[in-house]
Structure 1
Amino acid sequence: MSINQNFSHFLSQSDAIGQALFMLLLSMSVASWYFIVVKAWQGYGIRRRSREFLAQFWNAASLDKVAEMLNQHRDEEPFSHLTYHAINASRHHAIHGVQRLQEAGSAGEFLTRAIRRVIDEETAKLEWGLTALASIASTAPFVGLFGTVWGVYHALLGIGRSGQGSLEQIAGPVGEALIMTGLGLAVAIPAVLAYNDCVRANRLLLAQLDAFAHDLFAFLTTGSAINPLLEMPHANPRVALAVAGEV
C-alpha cells in the first residue's frame, strides 16, 4: 500500500480530533509558506531599493541634493525613510527650537531620538511574520506527535475490539498513524530554516542601517548640515512634527 493510500485510509478511520489535527497542520503549512514567500519577496525588494538609494545618497553633492531627491521621490525602505525623518527633525529643531518637552535638549539629542525612533519602527517592520514562523516551527512537531499518539490509541482500541493482535494487524494502523509525525516535521522544517534566514538577513540589514545612521547623524550635526530654510515637499505641518511622534 502506498503512502497516499495509507494516509487516505488513516484519515477515513480517524475521528473528529484526528481530522482536526490534520487540518491544523495543513493550516500551519499554508501560513508558513505564505510568510516564507512574502518575507522573501519583501526582503529582495528592500535590499534592491536600499542599494539604489545608498548609491544615490553617496553620489549626491550635498545633503540639500539628497533632500531635493527625497522631495521628488521617496521609497518606503529603511534608508530613505531614516534619511527623510532625520533631515526633517534637523530642520524642525533649527526652525522651531525647544517649544515643548518632546523637543527638549540640544539639536543633537533631538536628532538622536528621531533617528532611534525610526530604527525601532523599521525593526518592528522587519520582524513582521517572524513570531508566526517561530511558533509554527516549535509547535508543529508536537501537534504531529499528538496526532500520532491519538491515531495509535484508536488503532489499538480497534484491534482490541476485533480480538486480532497479530503483527500484521498492528503494523498497518500504527504505521498510518506515524504519518502525522512526518507531516508535523514537514511543516516545521521549512519554518525553522526560513526563520533563521530572516533573522540573519534582518540582523545584517539593521547593522548597516545603524552604521548609516551614525554617518547621517555626523553629517547633520557638523559642517555638512543642510539649509533649514529649504522646505520638505509637504506643506502640511503634521509631517514636520511626525518625527516627534505626534502623528
Structure 2
Amino acid sequence: MPAATTEQSLNVISLILHAGVVVQLVMFALLLASLYSWYLIARLSIGFKKAGQQDQQFNKIFWSGAELATLFKNAQTKPNREGLENIFHDGYSEYHKLQKRQANLQQSLDGTERILRVSLSREQAGLEHGLSALASIGSVAPYVGLFGTVWGIMTAFIGLSSAEQVTLATVAPGIAEALIATAIGLFAAIPAVLAFNHFTAKGESLYENRALFAEEMSARLQRQTLAPELED
C-alpha cells in the first residue's frame, strides 16, 4: 500500500487534476503558450529555409551575366515575388522611373538605394514575424509558472491551517501540485528562448547577405549607366 500511495502521488496527471482552479488555469495557459511557440518555431524554420533557397537561386541568376532589364521583366511576371527577387524588382523599378524622369546618375542611385533599404526592411520584417512572440513566451512563461506555484503553495498551507496534525504526507501533495506549474513554465520557456536566439542569428545573417546584394546591385547599376558614357 505505501508503494501504491507513492506512485499515485508522483502521477503528474493526477497532481494536475487535483490542483486548484487557479493553478489549473495557469497550467492550461502555459500549455497553450507552449503549443503556440512550437507552431511559430515550425513556421519560422520553414520560412527561413525557403528564403535561403530562393535567395541563393536568384543570386546565381543575378551573377550569371543576364541583363538587368531581362531579370526585371522576368520578375514582373511573378505575382508572388519574395526575398532578393522582390528587393531587386523594387529597386530596379525605382531606378527605371528615375531614369525616365531624366534624373542624373547620383539622384537615380540615391533613390534606388532608398527603395532597396525599404524593400529589404519590409522583407525582413515579414520573415521575422513571430520572433517577438517567442521572446515574450520565453521571458514571461517562467514567471507565470512561478505565480501558479506560489498560489498553489499558499492554498495548500491555508488548507493545512485547519488540520489537527500536519505531516510530510499531508504537505507534499499540495506542494508537488504547485511546483508542476513552474515545471510547465520552464517547459514552455526554454524552447522559445533557444528558438528566438537561433532565428535571430539566422535573420541577421540573411539580412547581411541581402544588404550586400543591394550594394552590389547599386554598383552594377552605376557601371551599366556609365558604360555608354565611357564608350562615347
Aligning the two structures, in what range does the TM-score lie when normalised by the shorter sequence?
A: 0.7 to 0.9
The TM-score with structure 1 as length reference comes to: 0.82
Partner-residue secondary structure (3-state), 2:11: helix
Q: How far apart in 1 are the matches of 2:81 and 2:9?
A: 47
Partner-residue secondary structure (3-state), 1:164: coil
1:19 paired to 2:17: no
1:86 CA displacement = 1.1
Q: Percent identity?
A: 30
The 8 Å contact of residues 133 and 192 in structure 1, kept in 2 or not, is answered as: yes
1:86 to 1:198, Cα distance in 2 relative to 1, 3 A: same
1:179 CA displacement = 1.0
Q: How far apart in 1 are the matches of 2:9 and 2:195?
A: 27
The 8 Å contact of residues 23 and 181 in structure 2, kept in 1 or not, is answered as: no
Q: How far apart in 1 are the matches of 2:158 and 2:227?
A: 79
1:163 to 1:13, Cα distance in 2 relative to 1, 3 A: farther
1:71 CA displacement = 3.5
The answer for the alignment partner of 1:5 in structure 2 is 11
1:86 paired to 2:101: no
The answer for the alignment partner of 1:232 in structure 2 is none
1:20 to 1:55, Cα distance in 2 relative to 1, 3 A: same
| Deviation per residue, 1:146-205 (Å, 9 max, x gap) | 111111111112222222311221122212211111110000000001100110000000
Q: CA RMSD in A?
A: 2.2
Runs of 4 or more consecutive aligned structure 1 residues displaced over 4 Å after TM superposition = 224-227
The 8 Å contact of residues 219 and 225 in structure 1, kept in 2 or not, is answered as: no
The 8 Å contact of residues 21 and 147 in structure 1, kept in 2 or not, is answered as: yes
Where in structure 1 are there 5+ consecutive unaligned residues? 99-104, 228-247
Q: Which amino acid aligns with 1:193?
A: L
The TM-score with structure 2 as length reference comes to: 0.87
Q: Which amino acid aligns with 2:128?
A: E
Q: How far apart in 2 are the matches of 1:226 and 1:30?
A: 57
1:2 CA displacement = 5.5
Of the structure 1 ranges 175-184 and 64-73, higher mean CA displacement relative to structure 2 is found in 64-73
Partner-residue secondary structure (3-state), 1:170: helix
1:108 CA displacement = 1.6
Where in structure 2 are there 5+ consecutive unaligned residues? 1-6
Aligned residues: 220
